[in-house]
A and B are shown apart, each in its own frame.
Chain A
């Protein structure tokens, strides 16, 4: 069947006016589902007739709406609480506003709480960092001490070293020092014990006496606290060791009246 012929046959217009038979209606339904042009023509015809109907618009009596609502409610088509939807709006708004305010307050409180917590964490972190630095420094000190002690033990325990006890001379009766000397390698280690503190411009100087002549074995400051083993200048063929007080930087020859301790091999 030709679509245009079908459209212009008048069946569409007669259908929308309700003038067609049930058989014709069924045919048109089928055709409109199949052909978009027919569907379009059908819509246009309906629109035209509806527009004509709308021209007769008349405002219904105000009471009708309420009656219909009541009838629908009686029929169970509307839930009673729905009917209050419009009138309950303001209180709903108040409720929603309260919820919004509560949510805002909660939000601000949460933000404040987290700011405080964050500051707290920062403080804790810097504290922990400081503690860590302290522990590392302490550890380094311990490591250095262990190293020194190990060195000291190595020297003391080595049979190649000879221990020379330097006792205090007159006026330094309580002072004492130990020298560890290796005759083979000529290495000299000093362990000062109970040497008095010196003024700023003075230093102790160790001498080795070789062939009756004093030989410089190095200067040092009296250490504070535990006195570690100090490696001094190597000396060959030492016969004796002595410590004098000299001006800072040391001297070429010992100032004999400034002798503090001395000891022979």
Chain B
């Protein structure tokens, strides 16, 4: 019918703040896969992830006024909104069930040996990146980024001093930066 519109981030933000439907469609079509991917990674269950994503998009839509371009990119903000919502979701689910530490070892394969082989990875890029990260670096990033762990929780989980968590977290992220930026 017509060519897909292409917006600069500034244009998109402006249109989103005007509650422009086409801008919203564009937003969904371009970013939903990344957001859904992150939510799935956090939540684990795909049906639950779909529910969380619905909530995330409504929150993004409703709170677009709060987004401040000076504080970072729109996509970063959106991904953080979705990720925080997903983390809140599992946190409340976990607190309903049992203690978080148990839940982590059971519900997430992070700590389990052979995790990278167990998960279905259809993304060549992900494999390439994971190959460059040590198991420990990946674990720290996933615990912090996907599970919302605090320094103390990671220190406890990985049985290392707080200072070490801090240093290794930095090293892990420096590696990512080296790989992407």
Question: Which residues of A line the B interface, CB within 8 A?
Answer: 10, 13-14, 16-19, 42-61, 63-65, 67-68, 71-72, 75, 77-79, 82-83, 85-86, 89-90
Contact = CB atoms under 8 A, between A and B. Distances in A.
Contact of B181 (A10, A47, A57): A47
Contacts of A68: 28, 53-54, 57-58
Interface stretch (B6-14, B92-100, B169-177): B169-177
A10 B126 contact: no
Interface in B59-92: 61-62, 72-73, 75-76, 79, 83
Contacts of B126: 55-56
A10 B37 contact: no
A65 B25 CA distance: 9
Which one of B40, B79, B140, B173 has the highest number of Cβ atoms from chain A below 10 Å of its Cβ? B173
22 contacts: A16-B173, A17-B173, A19-B166, A46-B72, A48-B173, A48-B176, A48-B177, A51-B180, A52-B176, A53-B83, A54-B34, A58-B33, A60-B32, A64-B50, A65-B28, A67-B50, A75-B58, A77-B19, A82-B20, A85-B22, A86-B22, A89-B1
Interface in B1-53: 1-2, 19-22, 24-25, 28, 32-34, 36-38, 40-41, 46, 49-50, 53
Interface residues of B, number: 58
Contacts of A52: 129, 141, 145, 176, 180
A53 B19 CA distance: 27
A45 B166 contact: no
Contact of A50 (B40, B75, B123): B75
